[in-house]
Chain A
Amino acid sequence: MKRAVLLLIILFPLSAWAQDQVVIRGELNSNQRLLLNDHNDWVWNENRLDLGLEKRFDKVRFYGNIWLRHLGAPALTSSQNLYSPDQINPLNLDIREAYAEVRGFLFEDLDMKVGRQRIVWGTSDMLSPTDMLNPYDLEDVFDFGRKNGSDALSLQGYFTPQWSLQGVYLPWFRPANLPLGAFSGVFSSAIALPEGLTLNEYSDKLRMPGNNLKDGASLGFRLKGFAVNTDISFSYLYGREVLPLVSRVTLTPAGMQGETNVEAELFFPRYHMLGADLAGSIGQVGVWAEAGLFFPQKEVIMTTDMSLLYSQPPGTVTSDSLLLEKAPYIRYVIGADFTFKNGIYLNAQFMHGFLHERGKENLNDYLIIGCERGIWGEKLLLRPLAGGVVISDWQKPESNYAIFYTPEIAYKGIDNLELGLGAYLFNGKGENIFAGFRDKDMLSARVKVHF
């Protein structure tokens, strides 16, 4: 909080005298969501100042993007908390991006970007399987495709105006951040306990990669160009999963008979990825396709240690489960969009493998559709058809599916102001992320002000 205040104290006088030199743009966002259950609980309360600062010299550009937010409701447990403004009104400061970009670095056709940055790969709409350099920002689980910036060095050389080769080095590992509030557990998988045991307490240890040149780093290359009237790119990434996998679970007896404490050890496995994407058109229809072929560096086996539970006779009692094969697997997206004469815009994507799904056997199929139309001179934007269908088992689709429907109406009748009112409705069965939301239908309201 002190940092936030300090920043604002510095920034605003700076902006006052340097308005003609530093470009300051920003947004004020307010997002509210209400569960459509018996209690109508508020499940999302975000008020965010999104500030972008840009300064350009001849061949150099500096850019910073900062979020200052109030997120969630006050979580107070004691009257002592009432003395703490930070707890009553929790603020959060996030430096999303802060980088310098040099055009014509060393050579005229070489660009360099250094600092915290968003490195966007792929052609798909929001759910790019090859866009893996930055970690997911899953805090708002419905803001698909949101990524955190990464501290990185990027060099991009242009052979021709259309063909370029980009090399990216990320020295630090940064994991994904997980959803907040009512959706906090959606990316966690349940640990199956031996029959007759119930969970008393869960704890875990996260094994972070070492902060050195080798362990924490990621390295990627991307060749991008244009041929046969199509934008194409090929990429390679030596990266690390940003969502952890469990390597070891230790069960220890708890106080009560039949209860156990669970201690898990999690880590972030390495992988190689070969990617390819294209964007073009067939007739008047815009089309794109993108695929990431992932090669896990090692298989991931979860060892469950029950030695302390079954100590008679003394010895080691473990069982192993294969979580991720070493075999390659492919995640891909195929999409198309079209605008009808009457202004209706339709966008459809078929996706094999959601962002948290790994391993050939664990990839589900998703059909995501968006349809919108502006009316009254684009002042009102209607999204009557938005959502998708998930099939997690084609052998038994009737019990392994999900349908989500996210219509919205947005008002843009006044410049720099956008108001949105929408709903998130879910239905489904089986083991897939959206089926897990079936009791979390929501209404949403949002306000965005640009300045």
Chain B
Amino acid sequence: MKTTIHFFLTALFLIAAGTAPLLAQDAATILTKVDQVLFQPKDQTNTVRMILTDRNGNERIREASIWQKGSNKRLFRFTRPASEAGIAFLSLPDDLMYLYMPAFGKARRIASHVKNQSFAGTDFSYEDMETKEYAKTYSGKVLREEGNLYILELVALPDVRSDYSKMIVAVNKENYTPQRSESYDRGGNLAKTAVYTWQQQANYWFPKEIFMKDEKKGSSTRMIMSDVKFDSNISDQVFTERNLTSF
């Protein structure tokens, strides 16, 4: 009996010792594969319709055009409603963000203190709107597997500034697309949940719809993509202040 217990303990130890690094490596591999799927196109453009629903069910609509190149350049320009039209947000590598307000006629550098703030009244924050590679942003571990999903826990790397203490992300095992995510604030409380609906076009997967809910406010934003185009050879000039302020 003693031998049996010893065997089990040894086996458990071996499993634990062997599994922990295996899962950590798996998480990193999964994140790399997620990045490969998300950033497989060289560039993409699309229009987006955002339906903002407050806790009482009242809806407001925002529309914008998006240009994205690689994994770290994104330009977001509002087209509707009239009060927001022309406002543009440029996200560049190294945490550089610029906001263009037509009324001021110049692009304004915005510091990282806005990261946890609402992006144009939506339930997405500036941090949510940044383009970033998962593998370069988070360290992760596989918590468990649920059917066709890997459930990962992600924590921002030490040199990455994030207002989330952790994220729980469910990744599809077959195509490595994030299916849903939970973002937790610095106090460890659930802040937001997101659900992604994916569509395949020209061999690329893209999120046709993202439903983001602010669990504290009770409001939600449904982001619906359309007119998606890939690999249009978008010039780097699109992601410059020159373009932000005029064309």
Contacts and interface: CB of A to CB of B under 8 A. Distances in A.
A338 B113 contact: yes
A451 B111 contact: no
| Chain A interface mostly | strand
B109 interface: yes
Interface string B205-218: 00000000000010
Interface stretch (B7-15, B22-30, B132-140, B234-242): B234-242
A279 interface: yes
Given A61-B246, A103-B246, A120-B106, A416 B113 contact: no
A286 B95 CA distance: 13
Contact of A416 (B82, B94, B108): B82
A407 B91 CA distance: 33
A285 interface: yes
B4 interface: no
Contact of A281 (B55, B106, B111, B121): B111
Contacts of A162: 240-241
A101 B52 CA distance: 36
A120 B82 contact: no
A210 interface: no
Interface in A155-205: 156, 158, 161-162, 164
Nearest to A340: B113
B246 A286 contact: no
B68 interface: no
A298 interface: no
Interface string A400-431: 00000000000010011110000000000000
Contacts, number: 84
A229 B110 contact: no
Interface residues of A, number: 39
Nearest to B105: A120
B219 A377 contact: yes
A415 B246 contact: no
Interface in B78-137: 81-83, 85-86, 94, 96, 104-106, 108-114, 116-118, 121
Given A103-B246, A120-B104, A377 B54 contact: yes
B121 A378 contact: yes
A164 B219 contact: no
Contact of A284 (B61, B81, B113, B237): B113
14 contacts: A25-B82, A25-B85, A101-B246, A118-B105, A161-B242, A280-B109, A284-B112, A286-B109, A339-B114, A341-B116, A377-B219, A415-B60, A415-B81, A416-B82
Given A120-B106, A286-B110, A451-B82, 4 more contacts: A161-B242, A280-B111, A281-B112, A284-B161
